[in-house]
């Protein structure tokens, strides 16, 4: 089925009904969530979780879930990113907060929703990197779950872009004597009304480049039922790897493999085991250390 044929199958009446239901449901819950956030209620994370699960159904998104979210806390969920709809999909499976670029906070309506979900906003400017890293670490140390898209932008849904490993620095945060759990997750749109989505139709879900947000949303809600495969891969920690960069490369490998399998219609791939971190070596004698120079600290590879 071509993209033009899929668009002809769309129904403006279905789209209008879905959007009306979504807006009514959302507007009713905004003041409730605002009170929960303002009072610091423990339900401030649970309500968005329930909200996104219902929104997925209202917008015509069916979830094909492989594996399960880790119950460890605190946790950093790392996922590929191809659409604003990833928020609805992952938000209804993982009770946590997203990490997003600062521009999202200024978006009309959706910026408010992001703030009410206690999103951590990060700036791409190097001078602000330390402050944002501290914000993320504070949330992790408080036992929160953060959902991170390390590609730094959205893709066309057919591939996984290289990860920016600088944001993995928060993975080194420890809760007591335990490192934070990192769980890679693959997300890919796979079917429309049970029919496999080809490469050309995947942008019905994916939103990237200079696509218009309102136009894309209107087209999507007027279609049938979109199936999205979400695969939760085995959780790891930074202690399983020789460096933060190696952790990022492992997450990219398993996520890219999950996306590639989903878009090609293959079964979910077998878990990729984490490469064991090298055993710590005894410190060299003082004379040897003076001759060879200072020994670098493990895990200090910049992202």
Q: Which fold has domain 3-266?
A: Glycerol-3-phosphate (1)-acyltransferase (3.40.1130)
| Predicted TM-score (pTM) of this structure | 0.84
- What is the per-residue pLDDT for 295? 31
Burial annotation 55-86 (CB, 10 A radius, 16+ → b, else e): bbebbbbebeebbebbeeebbbbbbbbbbbbb
- What is the per-residue pLDDT for 124? 64
- What is the per-residue pLDDT for 286? 45
pLDDT digits (tens), the chain, 303 positions: 555 555 555 788 999 999 999 999 999 999 999 999 999 998 998 999 999 999 999 999 999 999 999 999 889 999 999 999 999 999 999 999 999 888 888 888 999 999 999 999 887 665 566 666 788 888 888 888 999 999 988 999 999 999 988 778 888 887 777 889 999 999 999 999 999 988 888 999 999 988 999 999 999 999 889 999 999 999 999 999 999 899 999 999 999 999 999 999 877 766 666 655 555 444 444 444 333 333 333 333 333
Q: How far apart are CA 148 and CA 163, in angstroms?
A: 11
């Amino acid at each position: 089925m071509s993209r033009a044929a899929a668009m002809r199958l769309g129904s403006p009446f279905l789209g209008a009904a879905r959007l009306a239901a979504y807006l009514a449901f959302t507007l009713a819950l905004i003041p409730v969530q605002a009170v929960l956030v303002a009072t610091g209620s423990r339900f401030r994370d649970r309500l968005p979780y329930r909200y996104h699960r219902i929104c997925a159904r209202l917008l015509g998104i069916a979830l094909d879930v492989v594996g399960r979210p880790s119950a460890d806390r605190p946790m950093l969920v790392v996922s590929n990113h191809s659409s604003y709809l990833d928020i609805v999909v992952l938000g209804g499976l993982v009770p946590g907060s997203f990490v997003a670029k600062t521009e999202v906070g200024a978006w009309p309506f959706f910026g408010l929703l992001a703030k009410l979900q206690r999103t951590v906003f990060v700036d791409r400017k190097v001078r602000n990197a330390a402050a944002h890293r501290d914000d993320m670490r504070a949330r992790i140390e408080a036992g929160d779950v953060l959902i991170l898209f390390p590609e730094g932008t959205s893709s066309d849904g057919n591939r996984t872009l290289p990860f920016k490993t600088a944001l993995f620095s928060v993975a080194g945060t420890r809760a007591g004597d335990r490192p934070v759990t990192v769980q890679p997750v693959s997300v890919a749109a796979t079917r429309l009304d049970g029919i496999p989505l080809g490469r050309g139709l995947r942008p019905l879900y994916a939103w990237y480049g200079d696509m218009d947000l309102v136009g894309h949303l209107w087209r999507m809600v007027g279609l049938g039922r979109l199936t999205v495969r979400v695969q939760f891969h085995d959780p790891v920690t930074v202690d399983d790897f020789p460096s933060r960069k190696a952790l990022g490369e492992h997450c990219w490998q398993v996520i890219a493999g999950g996306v590639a399998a989903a878009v090609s219609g293959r079964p979910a791939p077998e878990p990729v085991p984490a490469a064991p971190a090298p055993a710590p070596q005894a410190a060299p004698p003082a004379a040897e250390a003076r001759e060879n120079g200072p020994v670098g600290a493990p895990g200090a590879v910049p992202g």
